[in-house]
A and B are shown apart, each in its own frame.
Chain A
Amino acid sequence: MPFVANTILNIQHLRKSFGTLVAVDDVSFKVERGTLVGLLGPNGAGKTTTVSMIAGLIAPDNGDVLVEGARLTGDTDPKKRRIGLVPQDLALYDELSARANLRFFGALYSLSGAALDQAITNAMTLVGLMDRLNDRVSTYSGGMKRRLNLAAGLLHDPDVLLLDEPTVGVDPQSRNAIFDNLETLKKRGKALIYTTHYMEEVERLADRIVVIDHGKVIAEDTLDGLQSRVAGVGGGRATLESVFLTLTGRSLRD
């Protein structure tokens, strides 16, 4: 697979199994700067395992994660600084203030002093929580926590941001605010990988869509490209949901 200059992240033939269960099987795709790739799939399709391998949380059995062409290796690989993770869970310390949380998460990337303070200001300004910086996280609403969760992943100014269902359980206003933040990040040239169950989110945000099922990539295209594969009702344009159901089937997974 030839290296493309604009490609920041190249996922090559990732495979991961847990015992006899093959969670991810030969997954490959690329992410370019300033774009958002939507990772779609039913529950248990292998999305989170894929994201975990990209973030360096678990080691793949096979395959590589290339950051600007360089292979990501090991826990302490400095290239991990190029990647930011916004986990599905609200990975925050409720008992501490937002500032204390961000100071801690920033220090994990060896940020300190004025650089850390500036990074905190930038991230909190982006998500619109600067006025609540010194408040305990336990006093935040669910939507505010989601935005703070996003800010924590942005502190070290990563080139690639992995967002694992970042809008679960938030109200429409907070979701919209998060979308605005992501649009801003795209404009700044960040590459985003976004996993979700919400089709409308992918329709609004994604430049390319990767559909995963049973650990394999079953389709990868733009929204238009995917929609053109399936005939819509009455000969009209197919919705992403009907495309998704056509590709992954209608049987229940949970």
Chain B
Amino acid sequence: MAFTPLLAMVRKDLQLFFSDRRSVIVSFVVPIAIASFFGSIFSGPSNSSEPAKISIAVVDHDGSAISKAILSGAQGDRNLKVATPAEDEARSLVKNGKTSVAVVIPKGFGEAAGSAFFGDGEKPALGFLYDPSRNVELAMVRGVLTQHVMEAVSREMFGGEQGRTMVQRTLPQIEASTSMPANDKRLLIEMLGSVQKFYNRPEGTTAASQPRGITMPYTVKEEAMTAGANVAYNGYAHSFAGMAIQFLLFAMANIGVEMLLERQRGLWSRLRSAPISKTTLLLGKAVSGALISLMILLVSFGFAMIVFKVRIHGSVLGFLGISLACAVMASTFGLLVAALGNSPATARGVTTLAVLMMVMLGGAWVPTFIFPAWLQQFTLIVPVRWAVDGLDAMTWRGIGVTGALMPVAVLAAFAVAFWTVAATRFRWTEG
């Protein structure tokens, strides 16, 4: 193989790429800007800052001790930001997207909930007005509110005025009952009598002054499975991997379209008239494309490392291997575009769609775990999925070099397949 022509091909393509200011900006600046934006969204809160709170409204039509306790509990919850507007205003806030959920506590809720607590009363309805576009937040509010309602109702029933009144009212009714079996009657009177003794115990002893209701019988110890115990998840690692791959694919697709334009302009005729093999000509394109792709990837990650403290917690060798395999895959994808595209215009349209599909399915925009199970399996045929997962593994997941072997092998297989199709299908002359 003649190296002087090959090197000349590579040098010329790099000159052409860097002479086009628009290409440079689109390939280097835009992915950094978009990845920074996505990274700030998906990084989650830092260790020092408060978690993002869900805005809810609570409308208390009841005004009972229980409803006030529910409101108080919600206001003290670190996950909620609570407003207390009138019901009409609450509806308007939800409808206009200002608030995710409005909780409406109806009149008589506390009384009915207290009765229902011991099992014989009708359960009252807690109203939830919600924004249908924010179902996830609705589910979270429902879970958080369950805790506060149970605490408020149980505390009131075991230590509050409403609980005392209910026992005082119920005991005579049981004693007077003629229909209840004698044994049941005796046991129930004993139980409620014990509850009354609990209510009437001297003040200042143990928890009498601070009645507690039913509380969560456990706490949660959370541990993020990142590269190490002291290594926080850095969402920028994923967003920069995804965006860099997206834009290097766009850059390579553009190189494929440029090849079609070069064919239209007769440049391939001139190149082919030289004593050079077709393989050398295509290889020149592949090498220059791979170099440009590698530069896009490394510049993006370099920026992320300096500005957003993204680190390679896994294997540096594995990271470089995946980057190189990804660059070669993208480069041969550009050749594929040139081989299958009939004209520059149609190739540009089709490849834009193809690249967007690949990056979307490959998890470059959003992680693939949110996909349905069948789609997660399906996306294994998308090279971007292997590239993104591989780079995630080498950065924030902190997996060693063995974690890079499969992504590198799969990306290399894609590159071989793309090259084979390109080398056999590329038309060297127009018409």
Interface of B with A (CB < 8 Å)?
A: 2, 4-5, 7-9, 11-12, 15-16, 19-20, 264-267, 269-278, 428-429
Find out whether the CB atom of B273 lies under 8 angstroms from the CB atom of A93: no
Give 24 pairs: A residue, B residue, CB < 8 Å, sorted on A.
A52-B429, A57-B269, A58-B429, A75-B277, A78-B275, A80-B273, A80-B274, A83-B273, A84-B273, A85-B269, A85-B270, A87-B266, A88-B266, A89-B267, A91-B267, A95-B19, A96-B16, A105-B270, A105-B274, A107-B8, A108-B8, A109-B5, A110-B2, A110-B4
Shortest distance in angstroms between A59's beta carbon and chain B's nearest beta carbon?
A: 11
* B5 and A76 contact, CB distance less than 8 A: no
Residues of B within 8 A of A103 (CB): 8
B278 contacts A75, C-beta separation under 8 Å? yes
- The reply to whether A93 and B267 form a contact with Cβ atoms under 8 Å apart is yes
Q: A145–B428 Cα gap in the complex (Å)?
A: 23
Determine whether A140 belongs to the interface, using a CB cutoff of 8 Å to chain B.
no
* B269 close to A55 (CB less than 8 A): yes
B267 contacts across to A, CB distance below 8 A: 89, 91-93
Interface residues of A, Cβ cutoff 8 Å to B = 52, 55-58, 75-81, 83-85, 87-93, 95-96, 100, 103-105, 107-112, 152-153
**Contact between B275 and A112 (Cβ–Cβ < 8 Å)?**
no
Tell me whether A107 and B7 are in contact in the complex, defined as CB-CB below 8 angstroms, given that A91-B270, A96-B15 are known contacts: yes
Cross-chain contact B271 with A108 (CB below 8 angstroms): yes
Interface of A is mostly: loop
> Chain B CB within 10 Å — which of A89, A92, A108 has the most?
A108
**Interface pair B429/A152, CB less than 8 Å apart:** no
Distance (whole angstroms) from the CB of B20 to the closest CB of chain A: 7
Question: Nearest CB to that of B428 among chain A residues?
Answer: A57
Q: Name the distance in Å between B300's Cβ and chain A's nearest Cβ.
A: 25
- Rounded to whole angstroms, the CA-CA distance of A116 and B289 in the bound complex is 26
CB distance from B120 to the nearest CB of A (A): 85
> Whose C-beta in chain A lies nearest to the C-beta of B269?
A87
Q: Which of A57, A76, A90, A91 contacts B277 (CB 8 A)?
A: A76
Candidates A55, A91, A96, A105; contact of B19 at CB < 8 Å: A96
From the candidates B15, B269, B275, B278, name the one contacting A80 in the complex (CB within 8 A): B275
Note all chain B residues with C-beta closer than 8 A to A79: 275
Residues of A within 8 A of B271 (CB): 108
Cα-based distance from A93 to B266 in the complex (angstroms): 11
Shortest Cβ distance from residue B429 to the other chain A in the assembled complex, whole angstroms:
6
B267 vs chain A, min Cβ distance (A)? 5
* Residue of B whose beta carbon sits closest to that of A84: B273
CA distance A92 to B266 in the complex (A): 9
Top 9 A-B pairs ranked by shortest CB distance? A89-B266, A107-B8, A108-B274, A85-B273, A80-B275, A91-B270, A91-B266, A87-B266, A55-B273
Instruction: Return chain A residues, CB-CB under 8 Å to B9.
Output: 104
Q: How far is the CA of A2 from the CA of B233 in the complex (A)?
A: 81
When chains A and B are docked, how far (Å) is the Cα of A200 from the Cα of B198?
Answer: 121
Contacts of B16 in A (CB 8 A): 93, 95-96
A93 to B276, CA, bound (A): 19
| A108–B266 CB distance below 8 A | no
